[in-house]
Chains A and B, each alone.
Chain A
Amino acid sequence: MGLAKFWQRHGLAYLFVAPALLGMVLVHYGPMLQGIYMGFLDLKLSTLRLYLSAPFVGLANYREILFDPQSTFRTGFLYAVRTTLLYALVVNALTLSLGLLFAHVLNRPLLLRGLWRTLFLLPWVVPSYVVGLLWGFMWLKNGVINTLLVDVLHLLPEKPHWLIGPLTFFAIVLPTVWRSWPFVMVTYLAALQTIPQELYEAAKVDGATPWQRFRHITWPLLRPVTAILLLYGLLGTLYSFNIVYMMFGHGAGYPGEWGDLLMTNLFRNTFGMWNFGLGAAASTLYMLLTLLLILFWYRVFREDLKAR
């Protein structure tokens, strides 16, 4: 096909796409490339006025983050990578399980089913920064959670510090799960309703147990939805910021090594310490790490994502 003919046939489509593409380049890819370039500069407060003509230091920022044992930036960054990966794993495992479980329950004929669905959906409606703020108060030593655990239910001998020390990890995981699972539930509920009942009836006739029906019918048919939910959840947790920032951000903003996620760590170190070069390099590394995880995800779910 000649160029003229091609243009005649598809020109209008390209014309329509062009503004969006231009916008993407200006708003998205331009700043991204600029960010990657900043990672090679010695860009900090004293050189900020030079901005993109700040001294070029090559891979020095990357060397510091990856190999310099003296660097406190590196220590904090590595803690944050560890905590974030663990956080992503635990949060997604819990939200997917809880969401699937409750979707199953609500998929059955149930008294006041509509009311339950609405009630369960409520946490998802609360903005994440409000969740962080509220749970921040609830986790206080004399907060409602400790009162419930210790004074009312007598489950613990004394009131622990949830916002200090290793327990901080639970303090950030639980509110995230609390807020995230309803969305998973709704999505699974919609997916469950698309599975033809005849499949289950046929399986029943063949003598399949409920577990076998779940394993051989429900789960395989839910895999594409699971894949999307997992991707959505992974990206959400890997870039999670609001909950931790609101829970700890009012003060020193350092939640400790078990509460510091990558986004809060990068935010503090980049904008608090005015270490833009180092921060940009760390962000680039983080972007590569996320890309690797997404590639891994794609390999696992490649077959499920193909259109049937």
Chain B
Amino acid sequence: MWKKALSTLFFALSLGLAQRTLEVWIMPNSAQPAEDFKALVAPFERANNVQVKVTVLDWGVAWTRITAAATSGVGPDITQLGTTWVGAISAMGVLEPLDDVLQALGGQNAYLPAVWNTTRLAGSTRATALPWFSELRAFYYRTDALQAAGVNPSQMFANWQNFEAGLARLAASSFTDPETKGRLAPLCTPGKNSWDVLHNAAPWIWGAGGDVVRQAQGRWQSALNTPESLQGLYFFLSLAQKGYVPAESLEKNTAQIEADFQAGKCAVFASGPWMIQRAQVPEAKGGFAERVAAKNLGVAPYPAGPRGRYTFFGGSNLALFNFSKNKDLAKELLKYLGSPEAQVTYARMSGMLPALRAAWNAPEVQGNPLMRVFVQAAQFGRTYPTLAGWGGVENLAVQHLGMAWDLVAQKRLTQEGLKDLMDKASAAINSALR
């Protein structure tokens, strides 16, 4: 009798111990990051008798924690990676190939080329990251302000010339915000004090036919000082120098500019899809639904430059560390997170666009006219190359573009001055890429 009871107890215990655990590191992608993620994976946990342990890393420490895990071999099974980090972490040789997972989800055709490029180190045949969600930029505008200024949004955002002409009309307009009674700045954009200095500049550089880095004779080199890049950059920066951007914007960061738009201070500003979600959430919960800006919200893709229409395309991927002890199970979780249903659910939680193309047909995306513009803008999406040394390249680019913004704020920007700065940036970037 006792023997039987004991053996039953042991059996139950071993079953309990057999419930496997998967550890996942994510960043705060939604309002309640840990709770939202737990809700997302709950069906997977039940179906596989597995416990998914989630740790939320602040973006400020995530890079350090992830690279520390990569060098020490002590870390989670799965980690979120910013798309621009994939190259560096892949190059460290610590990520498990995920070609089978991607194949199970539909392979290359299931994703936009810009998204597909972020699945691996540039030039590699092996995929090491699964696209999770996409972040891209488009312009938000105030429909009431544009209407009052006699500006047709579809024309204004058609090309650069029209964009500038639209800004000029907005500047001349006497429209005031019904709430603040103040006039709206035609365009708000952060200057150097923003983490996305390069993302803000990149669409203009690409639109003029330039690039941040490009391959020459099999080697990556800075292209920030090419005539095309300089042309695009100068056009963008000179919008501020011409007075379409309020001087106080230039020392604010992205969050402050978002707040300015929400508070009714700006007619036009560029941001990601999360603003659509925030426009539906009341202020008490971190949104701005009560504001006039939310009730008069329009979205348009970036205007086309002389060499094409582009927008910055970022987002996050998921990767599996090769020191994971539960690789097969972790791959199942990745397949689950990459499935259309989970993609749509998480997009709704985070306000981002799903990475999987099939998920864009979901009513949550297609039923929202503003979100549809982002889907349309995604066609023009472009990513940075996933180089191992991209982090350094981006930091150097950001630093020098920041100096260019300083010149703009002091109204001292000239084409020669910009070229000089970008020559310096290029020398530093080339040295970092050596």
Contacts and interface: CB of A to CB of B under 8 A. Distances in A.
Interface of A: 44-46, 48-49, 51, 70-72, 140-142, 161, 163-165, 248, 250-252, 254, 256, 268, 271-275
Contact of B396 (A46, A164, A273): A273
Contacts of A44: 392
A248 B88 CA distance: 26
Interface string B185-198: 00000111111010
A97 to B, nearest CB: 31
B399 interface: yes
A72 B396 contact: yes
A254 B234 CA distance: 21
Interface stretch (B44-52, B151-159, B250-258, B317-325): B250-258
Dominant SS among interface residues on chain A: loop
Given A49-B70, A49-B94, A164-B405, 12 more contacts: A44-B392, A46-B389, A48-B71, A49-B93, A141-B248, A165-B409, A250-B253, A251-B402, A252-B399, A256-B402, A256-B403, A272-B395
B239 interface: no
Interface in B248-302: 248, 250-255
A164 B410 contact: yes
Interface size class of B (residues with CB under 8 A): 35 or more
B246 to A, nearest CB: 9
Contacts of B424: 72
Contacts of B399: 252, 254, 268
A165 B410 contact: yes
Q: B-side binding surface: helix, strand, loop or mixed?
A: helix
Interface stretch (B102-110, B368-376, B426-434): B426-434
B248 A140 contact: yes
Contact of A251 (B91, B190, B391): B190
A252 B401 CA distance: 9
Interface of B: 64, 67, 70-71, 88, 91-94, 190-195, 197, 247-248, 250-255, 388-389, 391-392, 395-396, 398-399, 401-403, 405-406, 409-410, 424, 427-428, 431-432
**Taking each of B248, B250, B251, which has the highest tally of chain A beta carbons within 10 Å of its own beta carbon?**
B251
Contacts of B406: 164-165, 256
B250 A252 contact: no
A70 B431 contact: yes
A248 B406 CA distance: 13
Given A48-B67, A48-B92, A164-B406, A141 B192 contact: no
Q: Which of A142, A164, A248, A256 has the most CB of B within 10 A?
A: A164
Contacts of B91: 45-46
Contacts of B253: 250-251
B427 A250 contact: no
B92 A273 contact: no
A268 B402 CA distance: 14
Contacts of B247: 141, 161
A48 to B, nearest CB: 6
Contact of A252 (B192, B248, B391): B192
